[in-house]
A and B are shown apart, each in its own frame.
Chain A
C-alpha cells in the first residue's frame, strides 16, 4: 500500500507545531512523545501502521477549531479519528500528520423525546447513544458490529450501517444535523432537528466523506421508539445458492424483516467450534429477524417459514423466547472472532443486487479454488451487503499479497454484477486503488472537486478514498 512520502519540511518543524498546539490545548491533550504517539499508529486495519507526528484530544468544538486553525496555518495534514475501529484504514496516519481524536468529546448535549432526537458530541460511542435513551423506550438504529467501541464521528465519516439497516437505514438516514469544523477553523452548522434541507443537502455529502471535508464535533441523531419485541428464525440449507434464492423470495413476498443474515458452511463450522451456538451442520444458514407484538412476530415468522419450506431447508428453528433468540444470534455475533481464532483473515464489504446472490456466491467459490485460499461468507443478505472473509496466513511470505489480489477480484465481481466496492466500511486506504473499477475519471473528478470546496489545501485525511495519482496535484498544493 503506497502512502505519500512524508514532508521533511513538516517533520523538521515538529517542535514548533507541537508548541503551537500546546498554546491552544491543555498539556494532557497533546500527545507528542514518539513512544506515546504509537497508540495512534493504526486503526482496525492493523496490517498498516505509521506513527503520526502528534495526536491531539480536544474536548469541544472550540478546541477542535483552534487545533485546525493551527494546522491550517502550519499546513500540516490532519487525520480525524473516532474510536479507531475502521476496517478500511480510514484513520491511518502519515508520519507528517496530526491525529485529531474526538474520544474525549463524549457528552450528551440534549435529549428531546417529543421531537425524537438526541444531540451528542461526536466522540460518543454508538451503543452509548442508545444507552442514553433506552430506559425511556427509545434507541438509535444504526448498529455496526463494532457498536460497543465505535464513535458517532466515525459512523458519520463512513456512513456506517449494521445488521438492522434493512428496516431502519444506515447513518445517513438517521442523521438530522451536525456541527462541523472546516480545516481553516470555520464552524458550520448543517441541518438540525427538522426533516429536510432548505438549500443543497450538504449533510448528505458530509455523511460518508471519510473525514475529508471537515471534523464533525456534534451530531443531531434521530431516535426511534423501541419495538415491542423482536425474534429471529434460523433456517439451514444444504446449498448456499438455495439460501440466496430464499432471501430474494422473502423480500419479494412483502415481508420486511429487520435483518436477514447469511452464513456459509466454513463460517458455520468455525462459529460452532468457537461459540457452540448449536447450529445445524449444513452449507448455509439464514437468520431472519422480525419485530412487533407477540402475535405480529408469529404471523411474520409464519410467512417466512412458509417461503423457506419451498426451498427444502434442512432445519427451521423459530426462537420461542429471548433465551433462544440469544442462542441463534450468538454464533453470528461471534463469527468474526471465531474466524480470527483459526486464521488471519481479510474482511471484504462489497454490495451486490440481492438478485445476484446465487451467481456471486458461485463465482466466489470458483475464485477461492483458483487462488487456493478459503473464503467464508457471513453477511447482511437482505440488502446484498457481502462480507466474504478471506483466510490466509500472515506469516507465510506472499500470502497477504495473494489474499489482497483475491479480495480485489471479488470486489471487481461485485461491481460487474451492478454492485459496489464497499457497503458500510468505507474506502479508506484499503479500497482506494480500486475506485477506478467502479467510477470513471470524470466521476472521480466530480467527487474530488467537492473536497476542493470544503478543504482547498487538501489537508484533511488527504491520502484516502481516491487513488493517489488522481489527487497528486492537489495534495502537493
Chain B
C-alpha cells in the first residue's frame, strides 16, 4: 500500500525499521536525540528507542566517527549522522583513512559495517564552508560504498540496504530534497546498492545525474522536449559501485551523453563517468561526452549567485544542444 511521505520520513523509516529488527544498530550524531536532528530526520526515534540507541554527541565529528568505527570491531552496526557532510572534513582521517581500510589492514578480520549519512550539497544559502558536495572527494577512496538517493522511495530502500551492508556506506542526502514527497509502500522493500534507474525514457541524448541533479535534468528535459530533443534520464543512485552497464546501455541507444554532477569538475564523479563512457562506448558516441558541474568556485552566500553556480537546467540545456549539434 503506497502512501506519500517526505524524504526525511523515508530516511527515518529506514533507520527505525532496521533498528527494530537488529539490536546491533544505533544512531549517533549531533542533536539526533532530543532535538530530533538538525533537519528532523530522527524525529521520534529517541522516544521509541531510548538514549541507549539514539545518542547525542559533543560537537566532535572525528570523535563520533572514530567511536563508531571502534564499535564495529565488537560487532555493532552504527549509523553516524553528520549534520552536514561539510563537517565530515574534520573527521577525514577516520572516514577515509580508517573505515574503508580496516578490512584490508586487518587481513579480513574486521569488517567495518557502518553508515555515515547526512546533508550534502549547495543550494541552501549556507555559505561556502557549509555547502560541500563531498561525493567526488570521497568517491576516490576504494573500500567504501556511496549512495545518493534522489527521492523518498530510493532513500528508504537504499538506506536499508546500507544499514545491512557489511562495508562502510556513505549516504549523501540533499538538504534541498528533504521536504519533497513521494510514494513509498508500507510493505518491506530494499533497493540494492549499485543499480541505476531510468527516470525518463528518451531517444536523443542520455542525461546521467544523481541526487538533486536528477531534478535539474528533468527540468532541462521538459524544456528540450519542446525543441524536439528527447532526453533519457539515468539516475545513478549509487556512486560506488558504479552501474556502468546501465549508463552504457542508454548511451548505446541515444549515441549522446551529458553527465550532470553537483560537485567540482576536476577529478570528479562526472569525469570518471565520462572516461568510462568514452572507453566503453567509443564506437557508439556521435560526440564526446559533455559534462555539467558546479562552477569552479565555492558556493557563494548570495542566493542569486549560488543558484547560478549550480549545474542548473539552463546549463544542462546548453550542454545537450552543443552535444547533439543543435546549438
B is a partner of A: no
Binding site for B on A (CB under 8 A): none
